[in-house]
Amino acid sequence: MVIEFLKFKVTPELREKFIQKDAEIWTTALSRYPGFLSKEVWIEPNAPMEVAIIIRWATREQWKSIPIEQLDKIDAKFAQQMGKTYELIQSSEYQVRKFPQS
Confidence bin at 17 (pLDDT 50/70/90): very high
> Angle at Cα 81 formed by Cα 25 and Cα 21, nearest 5°?
35
Asked whether 62 and 33 are in contact (CB, 8 A), the reply is: yes
Q: How far apart are CA 7 and CA 51, in angstroms?
A: 6
Residue 33's contacts (CB-CB under 8 Å, 6 or more residues apart) are 62, 65, 66
Residue type, 36: F
Q: Mind listing the pLDDT tens digit for each residue in 69-81?
A: 999 999 999 999 9
CA distances in angstroms from 19 to 26, 38, 58, 81, 98, listed in the order given: 10, 15, 23, 12, 30
Residue with the bigger pLDDT between 90 and 99: it is 90
Confidence bin at 97 (pLDDT 50/70/90): confident
